[in-house]
Amino acid sequence: MRSFLCLPLLAAIPGIAFAGPLTFDAALRQAKNNAPSIRAKTLGVDAARSARGAAGALPDPTLAVGIDSFPISGPLAFEPQRDDFTMARVGVSQDIPNLAKRHAQQARADSDIRAAEAGTAVEARTVEVEAALAWINLAYAERRLAALDDLLARLQRVVGSTSSAVASGNARPAQTLAGQQAIAALQDRRSELVSNVARARAALIRWTGDPAPEIAGPIPDFAIDGATLRASLDRQPTIRMIDAEAGQADADVRMADAGRRSDFGVNLAYQRRDPRFGDYVSAGVTVSLPFFTRNRQSALIAEAQANAGRVAAQREAALRALAADLDADIADHVMHHEQWMRARDTLQPLAEERVRLETASYGAGRASLVDVADAYAALADATLTTLDREALVAADGARLSLTYRSDDQ
Domain residue spans of the chain: 6-58+99-261+294-403
Listed residue (275, 210, 158, 173) closest to 31, CA to CA: 210
Local confidence band at 89 (pLDDT 50, 70, 90 cut-offs): confident
The pTM (predicted TM-score) of the whole model is: 0.80
pLDDT at 277: 74
CA–CA separation, 156 vs 148, rounded Å? 12
Angle of helix 237-258 relative to helix 99-160, nearest 10 degrees, comes to: 160
Chain centroid, CA 277 distance in Å: 74
Per-residue pLDDT at 78: 60
Tens of pLDDT along 34-46? 999 999 999 999 9
How confident is residue 82, by pLDDT bands cut at 50, 70 and 90?
A: low
Question: Which SS3 state, helix, strand or coil, does residue 211 take?
Answer: coil
pLDDT tens for 197-222 read 999 999 999 999 999 899 999 999 88
**d(C-alpha 200, C-alpha 176), whole Å:** 36
Helix (H) or strand (E) holding 12: helix 6-12
As a whole number, the mean pLDDT across the chain is 85
Average pLDDT of span 375-388: 94
Residue-wise pLDDT tens digits, 236-293: 899 999 999 888 888 888 888 888 888 899 999 998 877 777 788 889 998 988 877 6
Task: Residue count of the chain, please give it.
Answer: 409
Torsion of CA 193, 196, 197, 203, to 10 degrees: -170
Residue 342: predicted pLDDT? 96
Give me the pLDDT at residue 166, please.
57
Query: What local confidence, expressed as pLDDT, does residue 170 receive?
Result: 58
State the CB neighbour count (10 A cutoff) for residue 186: 20
Say how far apart CA 216 and CA 139 lie, in whole Å.
Answer: 8
CATH 3.40.50.300 is right for the domain spanning 6-58+99-261+294-403: no
> Which letter does DSSP use for residue 23 in this model?
-
Question: How confident is the model at residue 408, as a pLDDT?
Answer: 67
* Chain centroid offset of residue 397 CA: 18
